[in-house]
C-alpha cells in the first residue's frame, strides 16, 4: 500500500474504526511523510491492465448513492496512456447513462480489476473525463479495436490519483472459455486419438471393448 491510496481511503471515520479494532498502528506508516507515493503506474501495473478484458467501476450520484457497473471488452481495451493516465472506449449499452450522468456531477471513479486465474486484484482511484464520439472522434477511434463488434459512444480518460494491490485471500479462481482452452486442448487431442484408434480396431475386425454400462455383473 502507498501513501496516495492511504490518504484517500483512510478518512477520519476509517482511522477511528482502525483504532477501535487495533489495526491503526499497522497502517500508520503508510501515512508517514517518507512513505512511497503510489500514484504512478509502473511496469507491473501497466502489464496487468493491458491484459484485462473487464473491470468494475464505481461512481457517485448527486444524491450520494454509489453505483457500480461492469465494463468489458477485448483483452487490452483499457489503455495505459502514461504513468498517470488510463483510458478506454465506452461501448453502447442499455442507454441508462447512469455512470455518464454521475460523472457529470462528480468526476471521481474507483476501479477494481481482477485476474481470477492468478488471484490478483488491482484497485485504482482517479478522476474521469468523457470524450464524446462526436466532439472527439479521433480519441474514441484510437481506443477502439475495429475487430471487436461493438459501437463505442465515447472515451473515458482517467487521471490516476492512487492505486493499491489487494492480497489474494478470498479471490476465487475462475477461468473464461479462452483461458480454459490450453487445459482442454490436450484432452481433446487425446479423445481424438482414442476415437481414431478405436475406429482402426473396428475396421480391422477387432470388436471394441464393452462399455461399463453393457458389461454383465
Is the pLDDT at 207 greater than 70, yes or no?
A: no
pLDDT digits (tens, 9 = 90+) for 142-173: 999 989 988 899 999 999 999 999 888 889 98
List the end-to-end C-alpha distance of the chain, in Å, as a whole number. Answer: 64
Tell the burial category of 20 from Cβ atoms under 10 Å away from its Cβ (0-12, 13-18, 19+): exposed
In whole angstroms, what is the distance from residue 153 CA to residue 97 CA?
11
All structural domains of the chain, each given as residue ranges with its CATH number in brackets, are 1-37 (no CATH), 39-166 (2.30.110.10)
The residues pairing with 86 across neighbouring beta strands, listed in sequence order, are 80, 158
Residue 78 CB partners (closer than 8 Å, separation 6+) = 49, 50, 52, 55, 86, 87, 88, 113
Nearest to 132, CA basis, from 110, 106, 94, 104: 104
Residue 35's pLDDT is 77
Q: Which of 34-48, 64-78, 92-106, 195-209 has the lowest mean pLDDT?
A: 195-209
Give the mean model confidence (pLDDT) for residues 86-105: 92
pLDDT digits (tens, 9 = 90+) for 31-82: 888 777 778 999 999 999 999 999 999 999 999 999 999 999 999 999 999 9
Is the pLDDT at 217 greater than 60, yes or no?
A: no
**Residue 136 grid cell:** 472527439
Amino acid at each position: 500500500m502507498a501513501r496516495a491510496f492511504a490518504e484517500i481511503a483512510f478518512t477520519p471515520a476509517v482511522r477511528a474504526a482502525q483504532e477501535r479494532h487495533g489495526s491503526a498502528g499497522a497502517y500508520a506508516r503508510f501515512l508517514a511523510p517518507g512513505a512511497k507515493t503510489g500514484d504512478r503506474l509502473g511496469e507491473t501495473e501497466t502489464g496487468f491492465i493491458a491484459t484485462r478484458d473487464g473491470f468494475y467501476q464505481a461512481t457517485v450520484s448527486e444524491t450520494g448513492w454509489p453505483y457500480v457497473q461492469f465494463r468489458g471488452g477485448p483483452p487490452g481495451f483499457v489503455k495505459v496512456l502514461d504513468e498517470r493516465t488510463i483510458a478506454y472506449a465506452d461501448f453502447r449499452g442499455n442507454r441508462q447513462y447512469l455512470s455518464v450522468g454521475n460523472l457529470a456531477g462528480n468526476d471521481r471513479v474507483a476501479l477494481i480489476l481482477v485476474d481470477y486465474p492468478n488471484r490478483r486484484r488491482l484497485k485504482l482511484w482517479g478522476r474521469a473525463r468523457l470524450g464524446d464520439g462526436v466532439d472527439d472522434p479521433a480519441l474514441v477511434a484510437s481506443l477502439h479495436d475495429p475487430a471487436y463488434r461493438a459501437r463505442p459512444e465515447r472515451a473515458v480518460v482517467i487521471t490516476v490519483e492512487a492505486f493499491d494491490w489487494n492480497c489474494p485471500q478470498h479471490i476465487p479462481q475462475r477461468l473464461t472459455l479462452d483461458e480454459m482452452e490450453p487445459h482442454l486442448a490436450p484432452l481433446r487431442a487425446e479423445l481424438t486419438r482414442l476415437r481414431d484408434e478405436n475406429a482402426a480396431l473396428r475396421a480391422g475386425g477387432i470388436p471394441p471393448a464393452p462399455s461399463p454400462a453393457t458389461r454383465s455383473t
